[in-house]
Structure 1
Amino acid sequence: MSTVNESPAGSSKALRVSQSRQSRSAFPLAGTGDGLVDAAGVLSRTIGGALAARGVRGPLPIGAPADVLAKAAEMLGPATLREHGIGTDAALQHVAQLLLEHGIHLAHPHAAAHLQPPPLAVAVAADVLVSAENGSQDTYDSGPAGIAVERWVVSALAKLAGLGEHATGVFTPGGSLSNMMALLLARDAAAAKHGINVRKDGVAGLPRPVILCSELAHFSVHRACATLGLGEASVIGVPADEQHRMHPDALAPILRELGPSATPVCIFATAGTTDFGSIDPLPVLAKIAHRHGAWFHVDAAYGFGALFSERLAGKLAGIELAHSITVDMHKIGWQPAAASMLLVRDANLFLPLERSVDYLNPPDDARAGYDGLLGRSLQTTRRADAVKVATTLLAYGRQGLGAMVDACHDLARYAEQSIASHPQLELVSPANLTTVVFRYRGNTAPWALDDLNADLRRTLLTSGTALIGRTSVCLEGRDAASSTCLKFTLLNPNSTPADIDGLIDAVVACGQQRETAFRIRGEIGGA
């Protein structure tokens, strides 16, 4: 057997030739030292100055959507492949300028619309390393380090959730796919109880499958059921209480009324609704799911990050009882998208996804340890998104991330108090996590407030002044089915109360201006 000191004849010469070729290569590759240094230098030269210049603009470019998109397209020129390239420096400079002039600026303190944070610098740097390596998670020989890192991250976060020693997980492109995979596993588990092999025979024999979720659950539940052959009609929305949480007292009678002809596939709970950050009563729902033999899934795409905070972690009590959990570290985790995970309490729950493919993971290779994570995913080639998460966890630890969570929660509570005390604003929902829902009411007739609030938001977007969200809420005691409301989603831990004051001032000033314009046109009346 050869040792590391022994080498085939002529290997030293081959190595020198290889190094010589790399040094004078006309095609610098990111996987080489010189190529990565070249890329880093170009990025530093092209983006550094542009980022500094962007400091004067708002979170969105100024202009109507059609105009902004047209300007961005114009910078690229005709949609025809050039015969000759413009060179690496020029190409990077051009694209950097396009993104910085016509893209989104999430680090701006007035960017407060979506669950879309400014990413941590260390995570972005780690993501560059992943792109340079270009490994894949499907097999050992496609990227061993990435596989080890993913196993480490899902193990660490499963422990944080309290799922137990047999827990594991997999990275996915986003919370919607994590939810779909959870429902796929739940579907197959429910079918197996009826002696049905869904993978082989499909879902036709499964007696009336039913998924029960809050009426405020993410729309990906319906989309997943349509994709999985269960049909959107299989989803039953359970009424929410006054705190926007699934009501257990409403769930229990629905399950009783289903009768023996139905199959409760999954009780789908939400830990952090998109609009309100509300968290369903997880311990009670887990007991109901267990009683009816249903899979218990927790969509914690938004709320999982609360576990980093000593102050907020208690809000997720009961998450440890789940069969599966959706996690999005590209929400409260400050990662570049995508960084979603599906965690499961037992690795055997992934068995429906197992595949043996001769050119990827033949059985003898797998037995020898040369397998990967193909059997846990709906994807084959899959980048090592866990690396940026691992780097962040190593860099900041639970306390560092918890401090960021607490900072954003503090901002949301400050915004809540400021809105509640403002004479021209109406607080609709308080800060459960980092979102606050409200509306501008000014001095306008109630029937005109929906149009006014929608127009106010669009005006802020078009002017580039502020990026805020909107939603519809059924307001207590109102005749209308739902009312148009505004929303702050606060995920910038560097923002300050003064930034929130400025954001609120911008909303009110715009509301007053649009109210005046509406009144001049005769579109609204006084309150």
Structure 2
Amino acid sequence: MATAGTTDTGAIDPIGALANSARDRGLWLHVDAAWGGALLLSQKYRDRLEGLERADSVTLDFHKHFFQTISCGAFLLRDTAHFDLMRTHADYLNPVEDDRDGFPNLVAKSLQTTRRFDALKLWMSLRSIGTTRYAELIDQAIDLANAVAKRIEESSSFELVSRSQLSSVLFRVHRPLCGADWDALHSHLAQILLDRGIANLGVTRSAGRIALKMTLLNSRTILADIDILLATIDMLADVYLMELG
């Protein structure tokens, strides 16, 4: 199995090399591209998915970088004949008369048997803005994440934890020679930002320590907005540390 975009760091495995290894060993290669699969539309970053076309199966979550509401996902197979492996016959679900009479039976299209038409919103988005505009939105988000990571690297107030290959950035507040409980500090910062309606930052762990995570998907967000957010976090961290004495 390969991953095209881990949830926290946005890391992408070398899919081409893993495809070679799977082929040489006669193994099935599945690629979890739930987060990073949207790079297929990108003109600047799609090379990060080199080898994806050689996967035996791929998962995509369109409610991530395709900007759809939950839920909207897909499971893709290179050889469609393998979909037959999930077929089962039950007289009450798919009577032979349906096939004989040409009645469309959607039960054979999903393991869930009954489901909403989640593909409709993706179809409408593609029809409305097209793949070119989609690519621009994806590239814009990743470009912004790269710019934010550079801002954090250049700041003495913050520490960059992980530079993502997608549009998320992991970072921590940096205060040298301070004996504060850093996990408590970062949890406090995320909560107060949420409570005040300023931002919704993720809280995760890297190397055993809590870090904050920005996921940048709103096409209206610009670097100036992030500069204001970082300044706010910097100020809130100072207030928290002062209150600790």
Q: Normalization by structure 1: what TM-score?
A: 0.45
- Correspondence for 2:128: 395
- Correspondence for 1:353: 86
Please tell me whether the aligned partners of residues 411 and 500 of structure 1 are also in contact (alpha carbons under 8 angstroms). Answer: no
Query: CA 1:447 to 1:285, structure 2 compared with 1: closer, same or farther past 3 Å?
Result: farther
Which whole-Å CA distance do the structure 1 matches of 2:194 and 2:5 have between them? 26
- Correspondence for 2:50: 317
Alignment of 1:284-433 (within 5 A): 284-433=17-166
Please tell me whether the aligned partners of residues 356 and 363 of structure 1 are also in contact (alpha carbons under 8 angstroms). Answer: no
Amino acid at match of 1:337: I
- Correspondence for 1:454: 187
Which whole-Å CA distance do the structure 1 matches of 2:168 and 2:74 have between them? 22
Please tell me whether the aligned partners of residues 416 and 427 of structure 1 are also in contact (alpha carbons under 8 angstroms). Answer: yes
Distance apart, 1:369 and its partner CA: 3.0
Which whole-Å CA distance do the structure 1 matches of 2:28 and 2:101 have between them? 34
Query: CA 1:453 to 1:444, structure 2 compared with 1: closer, same or farther past 3 Å?
Result: farther
Amino acid at match of 2:213: K
Q: Over aligned residues, Cα RMSD in angstroms?
A: 1.6
Amino acid at match of 1:397: G
Alignment of 1:111-122 (within 5 A): none
Between 1:313-322 and 1:281-290, the stretch displaced more is: 281-290
Which whole-Å CA distance do the structure 2 matches of 1:335 and 1:444 have between them? 44
Which whole-Å CA distance do the structure 2 matches of 1:303 and 1:455 have between them? 30
- Correspondence for 2:232: 506
Please tell me whether the aligned partners of residues 355 and 374 of structure 1 are also in contact (alpha carbons under 8 angstroms). Answer: no
Q: Which deviations, in whole Å up to 9, do the C-alpha atoms of 1:382-412 show, x marking residues without a partner?
A: 1111111111111111111011111111211
Amino acid at match of 1:485: A
Query: CA 1:368 to 1:294, structure 2 compared with 1: closer, same or farther past 3 Å?
Result: farther
Which whole-Å CA distance do the structure 1 matches of 2:238 and 2:177 have between them? 10
Amino acid at match of 1:516: M
Structure 1: which 5+ residue stretches go unaligned? 1-267, 475-481, 521-527
Query: CA 1:405 to 1:446, structure 2 compared with 1: closer, same or farther past 3 Å?
Result: farther
Which whole-Å CA distance do the structure 2 matches of 1:393 and 1:446 have between them? 51
**Of residues 434, 442, 458 in structure 1, which corresponds to 2:167?**
434
Distance apart, 1:288 and its partner CA: 1.7
Query: CA 1:422 to 1:378, structure 2 compared with 1: closer, same or farther past 3 Å?
Result: same
Q: Percent identity?
A: 38
Please give the secondary structure, in 2, of the residue aligned with 1:295: coil
Please give the secondary structure, in 2, of the residue aligned with 1:326: strand
Between 1:307-316 and 1:368-377, the stretch displaced more is: 368-377
Please tell me whether the aligned partners of residues 350 and 375 of structure 1 are also in contact (alpha carbons under 8 angstroms). Answer: no
Please tell me whether the aligned partners of residues 98 and 105 of structure 2 are also in contact (alpha carbons under 8 angstroms). Answer: no
Amino acid at match of 1:508: D
Which whole-Å CA distance do the structure 2 matches of 1:322 and 1:367 have between them? 35
Which whole-Å CA distance do the structure 2 matches of 1:471 and 1:371 have between them? 46
Amino acid at match of 2:234: V
Query: CA 1:321 to 1:467, structure 2 compared with 1: closer, same or farther past 3 Å?
Result: same
Alignment of 1:99-498 (within 5 A): 268-445=1-178, 448-474=181-207, 482-498=208-224
Amino acid at match of 2:123: A
Which whole-Å CA distance do the structure 1 matches of 2:82 and 2:222 have between them? 44
Distance apart, 1:293 and its partner CA: 2.4
Distance apart, 1:444 and its partner CA: 5.0
Please give the secondary structure, in 2, of the residue aligned with 1:436: strand
Amino acid at match of 1:338: S
User: What is the count of residue pairs matched by the alignment?
Assistant: 245
Which whole-Å CA distance do the structure 2 matches of 1:349 and 1:427 have between them? 43
Distance apart, 1:353 and its partner CA: 1.6
Please give the secondary structure, in 2, of the residue aligned with 1:467: coil
Which whole-Å CA distance do the structure 2 matches of 1:358 and 1:410 have between them? 53
Query: CA 1:323 to 1:373, structure 2 compared with 1: closer, same or farther past 3 Å?
Result: farther
Please give the secondary structure, in 1, of the residue aligned with 2:171: strand
Please give the secondary structure, in 1, of the residue aligned with 2:102: coil
Larger RCO: 1 or 2 (CA < 8 Å, sep 6+): 1
Distance apart, 1:436 and its partner CA: 0.8
Please give the secondary structure, in 2, of the residue aligned with 1:420: helix
Alignment of 1:3-42 (within 5 A): none
- Correspondence for 1:516: 242
